[in-house]
Each structure stands twice: as C-alpha cells, then as structure tokens.
Chains A and B, each alone.
Chain A
C-alpha cells in the first residue's frame, strides 16, 4: 500500500513553470541588491557622522591639551632629557595628569567607528559591483 500511495502522489505532481527557479534566483538577487544598497547608505551615513564627530572631538582634544599644559610637558621630552632621567616618575604622572582622557577616548572611539564604517562601505561597493 505504501509504495502504491507513493506512486500515486508522484503521478499527481504538478510541473512548475520552467523558469520558476530562475525567477526565485532573480528575486534573491534583487533582495540582495536591496540589502546591499541599504547597508551602503547606512555605512556611508555613519562614516560622515563619525568623520564630523572626529573633527570636533580632535579639535576639543587639542584645545584641552593646550589648556592643561600637555604640550608643554611633552616639549620637555625633547629639550631637557637630563632632568627627565632624574624625575621620570613625576614627569610621567604630570604628563598623564595633563592628558584630557575623556576627549582622548572619545576621539579614539570615533576614529575607530570611522575606520570600520569606511571599510564596510568599501566592502558594500565591492559587492555592489559584483552583483552588477
């Protein structure tokens, strides 16, 4: 009975349109192109945002570093190496103290986001070219 029923089911199969699998593949490719397009726009937007954020945060980092005397301490490295060797502990602490940590972390973070978004944007462009 089992084999007979199998035969009956097989005999009553419908034949899909010849190009159905082709149509399915076209639908997948078009979905893929759509996803790539949205991802490209997303990463491009993120690149622009992180670039403008980086510019502001680096500008603020430099201003704060000047105000806290970070560059003055840094210039000592090149001008008075004798004293540095003697008071290196104090020097290191002063240098670290004059560093605007929050701005530094923010700038670093934004630059990292910028790098990732540029890399992903270029990947999306590459896959777009492959699809085309």
Chain B
C-alpha cells in the first residue's frame, strides 16, 4: 500500500532521514515541469534543487490542516520562481489585477477557446511558445489547473489569492491564448 505524503513526513520527523527521499522522487518531475514553464529548461534544474532544499529545511513548519503537501510544495516553487524572475527582471505581470471584478465571467470557457484553437495547440512547440507570451500570474493558473490538475480552491491557497481572482486569471488566460492563436 502506498504511504500518503503526510505519513512520509511523520516518518521523517520521527527520525527516518531517508523517507524524505521518496517525496523528492515523487515530485521532482512535477516541480521540474512547473518550473520549465516559467524559467525554461536551462534554469529549471536549479529551481527544483532550491525548492526541495527549502522544503527540507522547513518541513517541520508544514501544517497538514492548512494545505496538502503538494500545495505547500508548489507554494514554495511559486515563490522561488517569482524571486528568481524578479532577480533576473524577467517577470511580466498583467495589469488587469486591479480590475478583477469586471471580467467577462458570462462567457463560457468553451466559447473562448474553440476546438480549432485546441487543434493548433497540439503542436508542443506552439503550446510552449504561446504560454511564454502569457503573463506569469495568468500562466501559473493555467499550468496548475491543466498540468497539475489542481482545483481553483487549491490554486487560491497556493497563490494566496481569492477564489474569484483565480477564476478571473484563468478566464483571462484563456482569452489571451485565443488572441495569441488567432
């Protein structure tokens, strides 16, 4: 039977030093792919190392009641990536943050991104290039929602943003995808 992340953490805190390695093995690929979407292949490895070292140092502060280990780990990843992008002055945030309330929530997502657009995105390179053109704060919602299959609630906890803001970012990100593809 597979142990839950929380059980593995309990074992680690209980003195089994090697149990943390199973968490590293389990999440390396996810954190790597999440990082690649923001910093590219060349720097993703460094980010992955930083994220796990931070998680290892702070594992005793992890509180299962507040969020799952995956959400907690991705929060560390998100903060590490933001710090990295700020240092490199690579970060591009959208200016829509102040107008959250006026987003076009009435338009269904299916209408925003029709099948023709999805067909275009089957080209892996085109998808990656298109994502690169979307501001980081919108892109992270898309990546967490579609790549990591997190719920909007989990993403809200992870990014420390209200649910409506997350949904708004998701909606706007889809609109941007469509605009870029057309």
Which of A's residues lie within 8 Å of B, judged by CB? 1-2, 4-6, 8-17, 20-21, 23-25, 27-28, 31-32, 130
The answer to whether A25 touches B32, judged by C-beta atoms less than 8 angstroms apart, is: no
Which of B's residues lie within 8 Å of A, judged by CB? 17, 20-21, 24-25, 28-29, 32-33, 36, 41, 44-45, 48-49, 52-53, 56-57, 109-110, 113, 115, 118, 121-122, 124, 127-128, 143, 146-147, 149
Known: A13-B33, A14-B41. A24 touches B52 (CB 8 A): yes
Q: Which residue of A lies closest to B28 (CB)?
A: A21
The answer to whether B124 touches A11, judged by C-beta atoms less than 8 angstroms apart, is: yes
Instruction: Give CA–CA (A23, B52) in the complex, Å.
Output: 11
Q: How many A-B residue pairs have CB under 8 A?
A: 77
Q: By DSSP majority rule, is chain B's interface helix, strand, loop, or mixed?
A: helix
Instruction: Give CA–CA (A25, B28) in the complex, Å.
Output: 10
Residues in B with CB closer than 8 Å to A130 are 17
Q: By DSSP majority rule, is chain A's interface helix, strand, loop, or mixed?
A: helix
Q: 5 nearest interchain CB pairs?
A: A21-B28, A9-B147, A16-B32, A9-B146, A12-B124
Residues in B with CB closer than 8 Å to A10 are 147
Residues in B with CB closer than 8 Å to A16 are 28-29, 32-33, 44-45, 48
Known: A2-B109, A5-B146. A25 touches B36 (CB 8 A): no
